[in-house]
Amino acid sequence: MKNKDTLFAAPVAQMGNFSFDENVAEVFPDMIKRSVPGYSNIISAIGMITARFAKENTRLYDLGCSLGAATLEMRRNVSLAGCEIIAVDNSSAMVERCQLHLDAYKGEVPVKVQCADICDIKIENASLVVLNFTLQFVPKAERHALIKKIYQGLVPGGVLVLSEKFHFDNDVTHNVLFELHHDFKRANGYSELEISQKRSALEDVMVPDTVEQNKQRLQQAGFEHVELWFQCFNFGSMVAIK
Ligand SMILES: Nc1ncnc2c1ncn2[C@@H]1O[C@H](C[S@+](CC[C@H]([NH3+])C(=O)[O-])CC(=O)[O-])[C@@H](O)[C@H]1O
Ligand SMILES: O=C(O)C(=O)Cc1ccccc1
């Protein structure tokens, strides 16, 4: 198979922190599909949400765009006058390849790809903001300010799609859903070694909140209408409407 993820297949003596470098960018489509239950369903739904929520003369943001899977789906689903898509990631390896992917297909709406920290950018006149498995990598202390900035940048009736890995307060259900995720990875061909090495590389880098913590943060930022619309094991996606 082309660009199969084998990054954690061999034993690593000193495990470093997971980072979105060239090596990860090269295998990313395979990695995310085999690691995140429901990923392709969520990408399709982002297309449907785009078709329903995009408004003329507004911006659509994909924050933590990686290779642009969500960006492409957004672009495929909007043809309104005056719309612009802004795709942002702070990994130059991802941003470079994202631009190539976007250039490989035609679209009606312009896309700007930016290499930047999503905590530093301006968000303005947005009808849709997508955070597809990105907030979990933002330091906890910065998450509230980011969600608040998104709320303030949305037009009335605008929507935030927030997909995350979740932690659960109940130890029994937490462990069951965690193990089911590992079963999903095993079923997709990852070995015990790959699963455990990647888990330790991610430990301090990806820090999930509970569904309730995410809901509360969205509500505290001002969102009145918040719902979990998809969940598979410990992964899921929420919509928050202004
Ligand atoms: N502060 C930050 N600023 C900008 N980018 C960031 C930041 N922190 C992390 N990233 C970027 O967020 C992305 C997270 S992956 C998103 C998948 C994509 N949304 C998809 O729909 O395929 C999810 C995953 O790998 O589980 C990476 O590309 C990081 O470089
Ligand atoms: O692989 C995992 O265990 C995950 O939790 C998801 C993931 C997917 C892609 C990059 C980083 C984390």
The predicted pLDDT at position 11 comes to 82
Residue with tokens 């569904």: 211
For residue 52, the enclosing domain spans 39-81+95-165+220-241
| Substitution site in 43, 137, 206 for ligand 1 pocket (most atoms within 8 Å of beta carbon) | 137
pLDDT of res. 16? 78
Average model confidence (pLDDT) for the chain? 96
Tally of domains within the chain? 1
Instruction: Say if CB 28 and CB 4 are below 8 A apart.
Output: no
Query: 19 Cβ partners below 8 Å, 6+ apart?
Result: 91, 205
* Residue 189 within a domain: no
- With respect to residue 201, please indicate whether it lies within any of the assigned structural domains: no
ipTM of the complex: 0.98
Specify the pLDDT at position 137.
97
List, run by run, the mean pLDDT of 10-residue segments along the chain (242 residues): 80 82 94 97 98 98 98 97 98 98 93 98 98 98 98 98 98 98 96 92 95 98 98 98 98
- For tokens 């990647």, the residue is 198
- Which ligand is located closest to the Cα atom of residue 88? 1
What CATH code is carried by the domain that includes residue 76? 3.40.50.150
**Tell me, what's the pLDDT at 10?**
72
For residue 28, give the ligand 2 atom closest to its CA. 9
pLDDT at 14: 72
